[in-house]
Amino acid sequence: MSLQSKRCIALFFIIFLLSPTFFVSTCRAQIVESDWVNSIESYAYDVDANTTAEIVVCVFQSLYGHGIKDSSGQEINDIVKLGVYVFNDMPLDVYDGTQTGIGKSGKDNGVLVLVALDEHQWRIEVGYGLEGDITDIETNLIAQQYLVPAFKQGNYGEGLYDTVVALGEQIPISNQPNSNSVRGYYYYEEDTQPASTPTPFWDWNFYDMPLWLIILLALLGIFGPVLGVKTKGGRSGGGGSSGKW
Amino acid sequence: MKTKIIVIAVTIIAVILIASFAALYFSTYNNVVGLNASVDEKWAQVEQELQRRYDLIPNVVSAARSYITYEGSILENITRLRSQWMTAAQSGNLDAINNATSAMESGVSSLVVTFEAYPNLKSSDVVQSLMITLEGTENRISTERMRYNEAVRDYNTAIHVFPANLWASGWGFTSESYFQAQVGTTEVPPVNL
């Protein structure tokens, strides 16, 4: 079992304990086919390494019931506001811990592609630093050309991949690429596993592993992110566009 | 001998007390100054986005003019609201800016609704692009407005809690006003193209 999948399981364990709804990174993709997810991750990784810009995809099953709240404690049901929140304020897993804010700090060069499947809504949010390279009109054209037709057919993976590629092509190659500071994860999905009925802890069974191993992994899961760097990334201010399919 | 020890002890305690008071005083001051600066900075962002909308409206109006024949008053209305907003913005009075901004937001909303009734206009590339830009501008305004209001909330809270409440007025800090959108105008007008 690779280290990444161990950490993933451990993290899942912690998440399961601490939070009713949560976002998971690539390792537990359920909505979009894993082949497409891998393609998205790999393309976005290349963009990050070559341009330092971070293109992140976030898939919500619905705008309701995800449990993400604004500063007044209300669940955010508007896709534009949700986009601003996910982009700027939601801690998301990166390769060495968690990061709030998509893109690099100071450069604000992030792009977020957000979709809500039940409501058939999409949103592309562009960080301050890329507003010149990817205008609102361009985000709309890209979504109309690649995302909307594929999503109408139910081809979510293809639509997201083509959208990510089209966005990536708008971003100029950086003079100082730095593959040491890449984000690592680019695809996130709302955890749509139904809340299970409570079972006694000795009956918990994850991937057929003994309890002691689970506990060990859980401790790794706790201390990994704690020891890992909590970083602040880029900012956005509502730039981009949104629509329906 | 005994008195000497008491004097030294009292002096040490007094020095510690004065030093902690000074530390509290200056750290509180710095905190309030920082929060106040953040309010100003966020306001500048709001103004920049409002200015963006101000600059955009003439383009929308001129692109729509050739299509809108019967409801020209809508275009005149938005142009009038735009100049009212500029007057308010120049006055620097937040209440006036609040009102003028809300009025302009309703104007933009009704403009978008009117556009829906003109299929030719909706299918024009120029108008489509302008509407996307307008929508983006409205989203930016609401985002920056939310951040400004959060900064105001943090600042106002800070100057009203102990110990800053004892000193804030002496330092010349007073509550800042929120930049409220009127009910019904907080939602971005939907642009369905």
Instruction: With CB atoms and an 8 Å threshold, state whether A84 touches B143.
Output: yes
Give the per-residue pLDDT at B72: 67
Question: Which residues make Cβ contacts (< 8 Å) with residue B46, sequence separation at least 6?
Answer: B141, B144, B145, B148, B179
Per-residue pLDDT tens for A120-151? 999 999 999 999 899 999 999 999 999 999 99
Give the per-residue pLDDT at A70: 84
- Any chain B CB within 8 A of the CB of A72? no
Instruction: With CB atoms and an 8 Å threshold, state whether B132 touches A71.
Output: no
Is residue B159 situated within a structural domain?
yes
Core vs surface per residue A142-166: b (16+ CB within 10 A) or e: bbeebbbebbeeebbbbbbbbbbbb
- The alpha-carbon gap from A53 to the nearest alpha carbon of chain B, in Å, equals 21
What ipTM, to 2 d.p.?
0.74
Q: B67: domain range? A: 38-171
Q: What burial class does residue A38 get, using C-beta atoms within 10 Å of its C-beta: 0-12 exposed, 13-18 middle, 19+ buried?
A: middle
Give the per-residue pLDDT at A27: 47
Is residue A53 situated within a structural domain?
yes
Q: What is the DSSP string of A122-188?
A: EEEEEEGGGTTTS-HHHHHHHIIIIIHHHHHTT-HHHHHHHHHHHHHHTSPPPSS--GGG-----EE
Q: What type of residue is A104?
A: K
Give the per-residue pLDDT at A166: 95
Rounded Cα distance, B94 and B8, in Å: 56
Residues of A in contact with B192 (CB under 8 A): 244
Domain of A179, CATH number, reads 3.10.310.50
Is residue B183 situated within a structural domain?
no
Domain count, chain B: 1
Rounded Cα distance, B137 and B168, in Å: 36
- The alpha-carbon gap from B56 to the nearest alpha carbon of chain A, in Å, equals 14
Q: A34: domain range? A: 22-230
What length is written for chain B?
A: 193
- Any chain B CB within 8 A of the CB of A157? no
Is residue A152 situated within a structural domain?
yes
Instruction: With CB atoms and an 8 Å threshold, state whether B132 touches A240.
Output: no
Q: Which residue(s) pair with B84 in the sheet? A: none
Q: Number of A:B CB contacts under 8 A? A: 40
Q: Which of helix, strand or coil describes residue A189?
A: strand
Is residue B14 situated within a structural domain?
no
Residues of B in contact with A241 (CB under 8 A): 132, 135-136
Give the per-residue pLDDT at B182: 47
State the number of CA atoms in the 13 A half-sphere of A74 facing the CB: 6
Any idea which residue has 């750290």 for tokens?
Answer: B27
Is residue B120 situated within a structural domain?
yes
> What average pLDDT values come out for chain A (245 residues) when binned by 10 residues?
56 49 52 89 92 92 88 88 92 84 90 94 94 92 94 94 95 73 86 50 53 69 59 87 90
- The alpha-carbon gap from A79 to the nearest alpha carbon of chain B, in Å, equals 11
Is residue B21 situated within a structural domain?
no
| B3 phi and psi angles, rounded to 5 deg | -60, -40
Q: Could you say which of B45, B49, B133 has the minimum Cβ distance to residue A136?
A: B133
Instruction: With CB atoms and an 8 Å threshold, state whether B136 touches A237.
Output: no
Residues of B in contact with A244 (CB under 8 A): 192
Domain of B56, CATH number, reads 1.20.1440.20
Is residue A179 situated within a structural domain?
yes
- The alpha-carbon gap from B179 to the nearest alpha carbon of chain A, in Å, equals 16
Q: Cα B85–B130–A122 angle (5° rounding)? A: 110
Give the per-residue pLDDT at B18: 93
Q: What type of residue is A215?
A: I
- Any chain A CB within 8 A of the CB of B149? no
Q: Could you say which of A81, A237, A241 has the minimum Cβ distance to residue B135?
A: A241
Instruction: With CB atoms and an 8 Å threshold, state whether B133 touches A137.
Output: yes
Q: Per residue of chain B (193 residues), give pLDDT as tens.
A: 788 899 999 999 999 999 999 999 999 999 999 999 999 999 988 888 888 888 888 888 887 777 766 666 778 888 888 888 888 888 878 888 888 888 888 888 887 777 777 777 777 788 888 888 888 888 898 889 889 999 999 999 998 888 888 888 888 888 888 887 544 444 444 444 4
Domain count, chain A: 1
Residues of A in contact with B133 (CB under 8 A): 135-137
Is residue B89 situated within a structural domain?
yes
Is residue B93 situated within a structural domain?
yes
